[in-house]
């Protein structure tokens, strides 16, 4: 991982307000990194960051937020593909454990692929706070990779 991370920000509908508040609180750190978001979460986060930049509380983003589709329309799968391709370093996903999600299998697949590829995942405010405040967020970092050769080389 390079010094500047690719940070994915995702939130279910009932958690978007929480994520927006978290982004506002951490905007100065986040503006040093590249952001990728699913659908409506991305539009909300763009508004929050633009407001904070206009107030002088943060500098402009390094580059515009990469916007994917809405989660239920394939955004979670797009994000999973980015993780598998090495295009995401950190996942902050405020999911709602109290609401049924019509795309729950996609959510589980996204969380699974994040674990498979050994990227940090923050699913609640406390974990996201620990991840974003780690000294590693602003440094180069070489995560320990897993060797999947035995899986890939198996015979059927």
Catalytic site positions: 76
Q: How far apart are CA 31 and CA 26, in angstroms?
A: 9
- Identify which of 62, 34, 69, 65 has the alpha carbon closest to the alpha carbon of residue 47: 65
Residue with tokens 């983003």: 61
Q: How far apart are CA 117 and CA 143, in angstroms?
A: 10
- Stated length of the chain: 156
Strand blocks (E) in 39-113: 66-68, 90-94
């Amino acid at each position: 991982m390079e010094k500047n991370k690719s940070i994915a920000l995702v939130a279910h509908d009932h958690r978007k307000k929480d994520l927006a508040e978290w982004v506002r609180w951490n905007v100065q750190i986040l503006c040093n990194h590249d952001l990728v978001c699913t659908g409506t979460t991305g539009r909300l986060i763009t508004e929050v960051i633009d407001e904070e930049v206009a107030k002088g509380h943060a500098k402009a983003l390094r580059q515009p937020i990469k916007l994917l589709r809405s989660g239920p329309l394939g955004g979670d799968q797009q994000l999973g593909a980015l993780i598998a391709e090495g295009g995401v370093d950190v996942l902050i996903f405020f999911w709602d454990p109290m609401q049924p999600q019509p795309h729950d299998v996609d959510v589980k697949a996204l969380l699974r692929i994040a674990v498979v590829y050994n990227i940090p995942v923050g699913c609640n405010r406390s974990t996201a706070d620990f991840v974003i405040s780690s000294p590693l967020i602003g440094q180069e970092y070489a995560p320990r990779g897993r060797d999947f050769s035995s899986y890939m080389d198996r015979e059927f």
